[in-house]
Amino acid sequence: MSFRVSGLAFYLAAFLVVLCVLIVVHELGHYLVARYCDVKVLRFSVGFGRVLWQRRVGRDQTEWALGLFPLGGYVKMLDEREGAVDVSELHRAFNRKSVGQRSLIVAAGPLANFILAILLFWAVFIYGGNELLPILGTPAAGSPAAAAGIANGEQVRAVDGQAVQTWNDFRWLILQKAVAQESVDLELINEAKEIALRRLDLKAAGEQGWEGDALERLGLAFFRPKIPAVVGKLVGGGPGERAGLRVGDLVRAINGEAVFTWQELVIRVRNSAGQSLRLEVLRQGDIATVDVVPEAVSERGRSVGKIGVAVAENGDTRRELHTFVRYGFFAAGGKALAETWDKSVFSLVMLGKMLTGEVSWKNLSGPVTIADYAGQSARLGVDYYIKFMALVSISLGVLNLLPIPVLDGGHLMYHMIEVVRRRPLSERAMEIGQQIGLSILFVLMAFAFFNDINRLISG
């Protein structure tokens, strides 16, 4: 797994914060619109199972509760289908409201998640931050990027005429294009300020059912500057430190073969898991040799070597690879809306491709994977964590709008049928629908948990 037991509490805390915020916002959407439509709310619960805390508040004495398992929540409203209702309160029962009002109450939960995502993206875009420039590295031999003629150091200016500012923008656009079309035109500029147009074949992105890194399959990698192989940091107790490497060591050769850049060192180490390497280093003007055995680490289903060292910071190179991106208030709002819309549509498209078999079900993630990503994004910084929360909020909104009974989308489907039939479905029909919906959700959860366990085992 990509996080250690020692950091489990941090990852769990990051996950629970995301989960609780998104559940509260979702259920608050249902609650506020229900109150607006004068529906009596009996209970507002975050979590299921044993009640850890509860309190009655307001003129309706709504019960606010916190359950033991925070993997969901619910808003229980007054409804004749769930129990006897006093005659004086019939007008406040959910089932007595118009189909339009009921639909509005049901849709308010997912809508609240989309609004939250917009606000989170908006805040991040206004605050701004350092982003990697879209500079391409040397593509793998035989890859579509190599066939397109892409060279190391070329910077992307536009994708199919759409301007690109950052590496994240470029990555997102390529994924979107790869889902919808077979090729894309890249406008590039090299270090000599020469502009070139390359046509990139995107068909390889969808190989293996979109499992893994699509950009890697296309041969698109970030630029690797020619940084000297100087040790900047050592992981305490790691193979490098145990072998005797020191901060400031310049690695000149590995097993007698010359090393000129940090990238060359990384490639040799990654390809030598469990094998002894003799490093020739320059240390304070003297030559020394260090024998180190890279530790085997599982990464994307394959074993790679690591020795627990990091490159020495290079300020000039760092500045050349980054740009500070910040938007004005209204521009940030527009970008936040576009970001939320694009990612919502992309989620639906990918779900559709899962159903048709074009996308592997292995892409479905469960709570363990989400917890892992929550912890990783939190470690990277507040802006990454907020973006991650926005992405999960979008996913929650999209998932709940699917026309599956027991989900909000299923209830909206019932309401649409009611409009067409001019009368509600029978209770028996809805019971059957509930059973089908629960079965579908069970299958989806089983796939997600299986994928989590598989990732846990394979790393």
Lookup result for tokens 């007698």: 256
SS3 content of the chain, % helix, strand, coil (to 5): 50, 25, 25
User: What residue spans of 295-366 are helical by DSSP H?
Assistant: 315-321, 329-356
Taking phi first (over 0 means left), then psi (-120 to 50 degrees means alpha), and beta for anything else, what does residue 289 get?
beta
Judge whether 408 and 111 are in contact, CB under 8 Å: no
Residues 6+ apart with CB under 8 A from 349: 179, 180
Query: In a 3-state reduction of DSSP, which class is residue 347?
Result: helix
How far lies 378's CA from each of 9, 18, 159, 310, 361, in Å?
Answer: 13, 10, 30, 21, 27
Q: Characterize 180-208 residue by residue with b for buried, 16 or more Cβ atoms within 10 angstroms of its Cβ, and e for exposed.
A: eeeebebbbeeeeeeeeebebebebbbee
* Residue of 27, 154, 187, 280 marked catalytic: 27
27 catalytic residue (yes or no):
yes
Cα–Cα distance for residue pair 385/297, rounded to 1 Å: 26
| Cα angle, residue 212 at apex, residues 210 and 217 outer, rounded to 5° | 80
Q: Which two tokens stand for residue 103?
A: 């639909």
Q: Which two tokens stand for residue 332?
A: 């940030």
212, with CB counted inside 10 A (0-12, 13-18, 19+), is middle
Residues 6+ apart with CB under 8 A from 87: none
Taking phi first (over 0 means left), then psi (-120 to 50 degrees means alpha), and beta for anything else, what does residue 253 get?
beta
6, with CB counted inside 10 A (0-12, 13-18, 19+), is exposed
Cα–Cα distance for residue pair 261/273, rounded to 1 Å: 20
Q: Which residues belong to the active site?
A: 27
